Amino acid sequence: MILFIYGLPGSGKGTQSELIKKKYGFIHLSTGDIIRDIINNKRKGWEEPNSYVASGQLVPDNLINDLFFNSLNENGIDKNFIIDGYPRTLNQLDLIAGKLKSLPDLKLMHLYIRCDEEKIIKRITSRRICENCGAIFNIELDKEIQNCKFCGAKLYQRVDDQYSVIKKRIDEYKIKTLPVIERLKEEGSLIEVDGDREVDSIFKDIILLLKGKVR
Protein backbone atom coordinates (compact mmCIF):
# COMPACT_ATOMS: atom_id res chain seq x y z
CA MET A 1 0.00 0.00 0.00
CA ILE A 2 1.07 3.57 -0.69
CA LEU A 3 -0.38 6.31 1.51
CA PHE A 4 0.07 9.80 0.09
CA ILE A 5 -0.52 12.37 2.82
CA TYR A 6 -1.21 16.04 2.07
CA GLY A 7 -1.84 19.18 4.08
CA LEU A 8 -0.92 22.83 4.41
CA PRO A 9 2.41 23.62 6.09
CA GLY A 10 1.74 23.27 9.81
CA SER A 11 -1.28 20.99 9.33
CA GLY A 12 0.36 18.19 11.31
CA LYS A 13 0.95 15.77 8.45
CA GLY A 14 4.51 15.15 9.66
CA THR A 15 3.25 14.27 13.14
CA GLN A 16 0.60 11.93 11.75
CA SER A 17 3.16 10.32 9.43
CA GLU A 18 5.35 9.49 12.44
CA LEU A 19 2.40 7.99 14.35
CA ILE A 20 1.42 5.85 11.34
CA LYS A 21 5.03 4.66 10.94
CA LYS A 22 5.23 3.62 14.60
CA LYS A 23 1.90 1.78 14.62
CA TYR A 24 2.08 -0.01 11.27
CA GLY A 25 5.78 -0.05 10.36
CA PHE A 26 5.27 1.97 7.18
CA ILE A 27 8.37 2.92 5.21
CA HIS A 28 8.58 6.71 4.99
CA LEU A 29 9.77 8.07 1.65
CA SER A 30 10.59 11.70 0.96
CA THR A 31 11.86 12.76 -2.44
CA GLY A 32 14.29 15.15 -0.76
CA ASP A 33 15.73 12.33 1.37
CA ILE A 34 15.93 10.03 -1.67
CA ILE A 35 17.89 12.60 -3.67
CA ARG A 36 20.25 13.35 -0.77
CA ASP A 37 20.86 9.64 -0.18
CA ILE A 38 21.68 8.99 -3.84
CA ILE A 39 24.08 11.93 -4.04
CA ASN A 40 25.77 11.51 -0.65
CA ASN A 41 26.33 7.77 -1.13
CA LYS A 42 27.15 8.13 -4.84
CA ARG A 43 24.61 5.51 -5.80
CA LYS A 44 24.07 4.48 -9.41
CA GLY A 45 23.11 7.49 -11.52
CA TRP A 46 23.97 10.01 -8.77
CA GLU A 47 25.74 12.34 -11.21
CA GLU A 48 22.57 13.58 -12.91
CA PRO A 49 20.64 14.75 -9.82
CA ASN A 50 23.88 16.09 -8.36
CA SER A 51 24.43 18.29 -11.42
CA TYR A 52 21.12 20.05 -10.74
CA VAL A 53 21.56 20.32 -6.97
CA ALA A 54 25.14 21.56 -7.25
CA SER A 55 24.10 24.34 -9.63
CA GLY A 56 21.15 25.37 -7.46
CA GLN A 57 18.53 24.14 -9.94
CA LEU A 58 15.40 22.12 -9.19
CA VAL A 59 15.65 18.45 -10.10
CA PRO A 60 13.24 17.91 -13.05
CA ASP A 61 9.93 16.19 -12.27
CA ASN A 62 10.57 13.24 -14.60
CA LEU A 63 13.91 12.49 -12.87
CA ILE A 64 12.38 12.84 -9.39
CA ASN A 65 9.63 10.46 -10.44
CA ASP A 66 12.13 7.87 -11.72
CA LEU A 67 14.15 8.08 -8.50
CA PHE A 68 10.98 7.76 -6.45
CA PHE A 69 9.82 4.59 -8.18
CA ASN A 70 13.35 3.14 -8.11
CA SER A 71 13.29 3.58 -4.34
CA LEU A 72 9.89 1.86 -4.12
CA ASN A 73 11.25 -1.11 -6.04
CA GLU A 74 14.44 -1.28 -3.98
CA ASN A 75 12.46 -1.40 -0.74
CA GLY A 76 9.99 -3.91 -2.17
CA ILE A 77 6.74 -2.85 -3.79
CA ASP A 78 4.87 -5.29 -1.52
CA LYS A 79 5.66 -3.13 1.54
CA ASN A 80 3.59 -0.31 3.04
CA PHE A 81 4.79 3.19 2.24
CA ILE A 82 3.85 6.64 3.47
CA ILE A 83 4.68 9.58 1.21
CA ASP A 84 4.71 13.05 2.73
CA GLY A 85 5.09 16.03 0.39
CA TYR A 86 4.89 14.31 -2.99
CA PRO A 87 3.42 14.89 -5.52
CA ARG A 88 3.67 18.65 -5.11
CA THR A 89 2.45 19.64 -8.57
CA LEU A 90 -0.06 18.48 -11.19
CA ASN A 91 2.80 17.45 -13.47
CA GLN A 92 4.23 15.21 -10.74
CA LEU A 93 0.75 13.76 -10.13
CA ASP A 94 0.38 12.94 -13.84
CA LEU A 95 3.81 11.28 -13.92
CA ILE A 96 2.95 9.17 -10.88
CA ALA A 97 -0.41 8.16 -12.37
CA GLY A 98 1.33 7.01 -15.54
CA LYS A 99 3.71 4.75 -13.60
CA LEU A 100 1.02 3.37 -11.29
CA LYS A 101 -1.00 2.09 -14.26
CA SER A 102 1.54 -0.72 -14.52
CA LEU A 103 0.84 -1.64 -10.86
CA PRO A 104 -2.96 -2.16 -10.85
CA ASP A 105 -2.93 -4.38 -7.74
CA LEU A 106 -1.22 -1.79 -5.56
CA LYS A 107 -3.52 -0.22 -2.96
CA LEU A 108 -3.41 3.59 -2.89
CA MET A 109 -4.79 6.17 -0.51
CA HIS A 110 -4.64 9.94 -0.93
CA LEU A 111 -5.24 11.49 2.50
CA TYR A 112 -5.71 15.23 3.00
CA ILE A 113 -5.52 16.74 6.48
CA ARG A 114 -7.84 19.70 6.04
CA CYS A 115 -7.09 22.71 8.24
CA ASP A 116 -8.22 26.31 8.47
CA GLU A 117 -5.41 28.55 7.20
CA GLU A 118 -5.89 31.26 9.80
CA LYS A 119 -5.87 28.73 12.65
CA ILE A 120 -2.60 27.29 11.37
CA ILE A 121 -1.00 30.72 11.14
CA LYS A 122 -2.16 31.66 14.65
CA ARG A 123 -0.93 28.38 16.13
CA ILE A 124 2.50 28.56 14.50
CA THR A 125 3.17 32.25 15.06
CA SER A 126 2.17 31.85 18.72
CA ARG A 127 4.77 29.14 19.30
CA ARG A 128 7.76 29.97 21.51
CA ILE A 129 10.71 27.75 22.42
CA CYS A 130 12.93 27.72 25.50
CA GLU A 131 16.47 28.64 24.52
CA ASN A 132 17.84 26.33 27.21
CA CYS A 133 15.76 23.11 27.44
CA GLY A 134 13.81 23.33 24.16
CA ALA A 135 10.36 23.17 25.79
CA ILE A 136 7.59 24.50 23.54
CA PHE A 137 4.90 26.94 24.67
CA ASN A 138 2.04 28.81 23.03
CA ILE A 139 1.59 32.46 23.96
CA GLU A 140 -1.97 32.41 22.63
CA LEU A 141 -2.95 29.76 25.16
CA ASP A 142 -0.77 31.10 27.96
CA LYS A 143 -0.76 34.87 27.55
CA GLU A 144 1.10 35.47 30.82
CA ILE A 145 4.14 33.37 29.99
CA GLN A 146 7.45 35.18 29.54
CA ASN A 147 10.00 32.60 30.61
CA CYS A 148 10.22 28.81 30.52
CA LYS A 149 8.06 27.19 33.19
CA PHE A 150 10.58 24.37 33.61
CA CYS A 151 13.97 26.05 33.75
CA GLY A 152 13.23 29.77 33.76
CA ALA A 153 15.24 30.53 30.63
CA LYS A 154 14.16 32.98 27.93
CA LEU A 155 11.75 31.99 25.17
CA TYR A 156 12.32 32.75 21.51
CA GLN A 157 10.48 32.47 18.19
CA ARG A 158 12.06 30.44 15.41
CA VAL A 159 12.58 32.30 12.15
CA ASP A 160 10.38 29.83 10.25
CA ASP A 161 7.58 30.42 12.78
CA GLN A 162 7.34 34.10 11.89
CA TYR A 163 4.24 35.30 10.05
CA SER A 164 5.99 36.35 6.82
CA VAL A 165 7.72 32.98 6.48
CA ILE A 166 4.72 30.73 7.21
CA LYS A 167 2.44 32.88 5.01
CA LYS A 168 4.87 32.56 2.11
CA ARG A 169 5.02 28.78 2.53
CA ILE A 170 1.23 28.51 2.65
CA ASP A 171 0.79 30.75 -0.41
CA GLU A 172 3.30 28.63 -2.35
CA TYR A 173 1.46 25.47 -1.31
CA LYS A 174 -1.85 26.92 -2.46
CA ILE A 175 -0.41 27.83 -5.86
CA LYS A 176 1.48 24.59 -6.53
CA THR A 177 -0.18 21.81 -4.53
CA LEU A 178 -3.80 22.86 -4.00
CA PRO A 179 -4.53 22.04 -7.68
CA VAL A 180 -3.34 18.48 -6.90
CA ILE A 181 -5.86 18.31 -4.05
CA GLU A 182 -8.64 19.65 -6.30
CA ARG A 183 -7.83 17.15 -9.06
CA LEU A 184 -7.88 14.19 -6.66
CA LYS A 185 -11.16 15.45 -5.20
CA GLU A 186 -12.72 15.71 -8.67
CA GLU A 187 -11.59 12.16 -9.43
CA GLY A 188 -13.10 10.89 -6.19
CA SER A 189 -9.68 9.69 -5.01
CA LEU A 190 -9.24 12.02 -2.04
CA ILE A 191 -10.09 11.22 1.57
CA GLU A 192 -10.27 14.21 3.91
CA VAL A 193 -9.96 14.36 7.67
CA ASP A 194 -10.56 17.37 9.89
CA GLY A 195 -7.13 18.58 11.03
CA ASP A 196 -8.41 21.31 13.37
CA ARG A 197 -8.56 18.90 16.30
CA GLU A 198 -6.28 17.21 18.83
CA VAL A 199 -3.55 14.97 17.40
CA ASP A 200 -5.03 11.81 18.95
CA SER A 201 -8.49 12.45 17.50
CA ILE A 202 -7.08 12.86 14.00
CA PHE A 203 -4.99 9.72 14.38
CA LYS A 204 -8.00 7.67 15.50
CA ASP A 205 -9.81 8.65 12.30
CA ILE A 206 -6.79 7.68 10.21
CA ILE A 207 -6.59 4.28 11.94
CA LEU A 208 -10.23 3.64 10.98
CA LEU A 209 -9.50 4.61 7.38
CA LEU A 210 -6.51 2.26 7.21
CA LYS A 211 -8.34 -0.67 8.76
CA GLY A 212 -8.33 -3.63 6.41
CA LYS A 213 -6.06 -1.88 3.91
CA VAL A 214 -2.65 -2.36 5.52
CA ARG A 215 -0.78 -5.56 4.74
Q: What is the mean pLDDT of residues 116-138?
A: 95
Q: How many domains does the chain divide into?
A: 1
Residue 57 pLDDT grade (very low, low, confident, very high; cuts 50, 70, 90): confident
Residue 104 pLDDT grade (very low, low, confident, very high; cuts 50, 70, 90): confident
* Range(s) of the domain holding residue 187: 2-26+80-117+176-210
Residue 84 has pLDDT above 90, yes or no: no
pLDDT for the residue numbered 106: 85
For residue 48, the SS3 value is helix
Q: Are the beta carbons of 209 and 202 closer than 8 angstroms?
A: no
pLDDT for the residue numbered 32: 84
Residue 166 has pLDDT above 90, yes or no: yes
For residue 191, the SS3 value is strand
Is residue 22, in this structure, part of any structural domain at all? Answer: yes
Is residue 189, in this structure, part of any structural domain at all? Answer: yes
The secondary structure element, H or E, covering residue 122 is helix 117-125
Is residue 165, in this structure, part of any structural domain at all? Answer: no
Q: What is the mean pLDDT of residues 17-38?
A: 91
Is residue 112, in this structure, part of any structural domain at all? Answer: yes
What are the pLDDT digits (tens) for 186-199? 999 999 999 999 99
Predicted structure pTM score: 0.87
For position 84, which CATH number holds?
3.40.50.300
Separation between Cα atoms, residue 123 and residue 119, nearest integer Å = 6
Is residue 106, in this structure, part of any structural domain at all? Answer: yes
Residue 23 has pLDDT above 80, yes or no: yes
